Amino acid sequence: MTAGTVEEERNAALLEWYEANQRSFPWRATADPYAILVSETMLQQTQASRVVPHYEAFLARFPDVASLAAAPFTEVAAVWSGLGYNRRARWLHRAVKEIAASGWPDTVAGLEALPGVGDYTARAVAVFALGHHDVTPDTNLKRVLSRWYGEPLAGANLYRIARRVIADDPIAWNQAVMDLGATICRRQAACDRCPVAAWCAGPDVYQRPAMQTRFNGSVRQVRGAIMRDLIRGPLDDAALAMAMGRFHPEQVDEALDGLIEDGLVVEMDHGFAIAD
């Protein structure tokens, strides 16, 4: 059996499985680059099931580039509230302002030049919205392909192999690999249920990603609390200190410094406010 036949048979089995078992998400029902950019920004470091209601609420309020670009960031932050990692909202807002002014880039490099858009997000927009025949290099793709080929894949080597094996339909193939990695080819792989186990080297090749620090008691929690309070309006030093009284003052200072550095909060005379 030639390598080409192996890849073709594996892709056929994968796509047949995907047709019957694909997960349903609202962003999979659109090719609008704006909606895809919103979803991919929200999906960074956040489970898809948590993103769905925030995505739908966000698009209901800001249905297109023009409406988001024209909105003050205080309003954007208010709609984003509860999703976490508020700097993503700031970067999304800035990226959309550039798109409103200059139009959509039509290359991965052009998309990556937008504020806050990295390699994965750029390729996801390019594949799912702009029709590029490319791979979306998320953690699932890295894990699945590493196991298929029996070696840890990353960087240029991952791209080289992924582009060699991708099916003719890049949207379905990328989503199929994502779904396989999210439901079967997980950290603890369920190989007995895998549709492509016959063409896989095995589950032993796996590099666990760095664990995220706990949320409760973290600076991330303080950042979110500050943003929620400032969304309701500016607070002077005393009012903010009272609102953050349950947190250690050093954590509050660190969180404020980070929010200011990220362009989410501005310091005023004797107080703080959401940045516009």
Q: How buried is residue 174: exposed, middle or buried, by Cβ count under 10 Å (0-12/13-18/19+)? A: buried
**What count of other Cβ atoms lies within 10 Å of the Cβ of residue 44?**
14
Q: What is the mean pLDDT of the chain?
A: 89
**Which pLDDT does position 136 carry in this prediction?**
94
Q: What is the pTM of this model?
A: 0.79
**Which pLDDT does position 3 carry in this prediction?**
54
pLDDT digits (tens, 9 = 90+) for 97-123: 999 999 999 999 999 999 989 999 999
pLDDT digits (tens, 9 = 90+) for 199-218: 999 998 765 655 555 667 68
* Segments of the chain assigned to CATH 1.10.1670.10: 3-21+137-169+176-199
**Which pLDDT does position 86 carry in this prediction?**
82
Nearest-10 crossing angle of helices 155-165, 139-149: 80
Percentage of the chain exceeding pLDDT 90: 63
CATH architecture label of 32-128: Orthogonal Bundle (1.10)
Tell me the C-alpha distance between 104 and 111, whole Å. Answer: 8
Q: Is the pLDDT of residue 42 over 90?
A: yes
Averaged pLDDT, 92-96: 96
**Which pLDDT does position 222 carry in this prediction?**
84
**Which pLDDT does position 87 carry in this prediction?**
85
**Which pLDDT does position 265 carry in this prediction?**
86
pLDDT digits (tens, 9 = 90+) for 46-86: 889 999 999 999 999 999 999 999 999 999 999 998 888 78
The catalytic residues are 40
Averaged pLDDT, 232-242: 81
**Which pLDDT does position 15 carry in this prediction?**
98
Fold adopted by 3-21+137-169+176-199 = Endonuclease Iii, domain 2 (1.10.1670)
Q: Residue 234: which of 276, 203, 173 has the closest Cα?
A: 276
**Which pLDDT does position 208 carry in this prediction?**
60
Averaged pLDDT, 229-233: 83
Q: Six-digit token pair at 195?
A: 């549709």
**Which pLDDT does position 30 carry in this prediction?**
97
Q: Residue 114: which of 129, 131, 127, 102 has the closest Cα?
A: 102
Percentage of the chain exceeding pLDDT 70: 95
* Segments of the chain assigned to CATH 1.10.340.30: 32-128
Tell me the C-alpha distance between 155 and 179, whole Å. Answer: 21
Residues 101, 68, 103: CA angle, nearest 5 degrees = 25
* Segments of the chain assigned to CATH 1.10.10: 219-274
Tell me the CATH class for 219-274: mainly alpha
Residue with the larger pLDDT of the pair 182 and 206: 182
**Which pLDDT does position 1 carry in this prediction?**
45
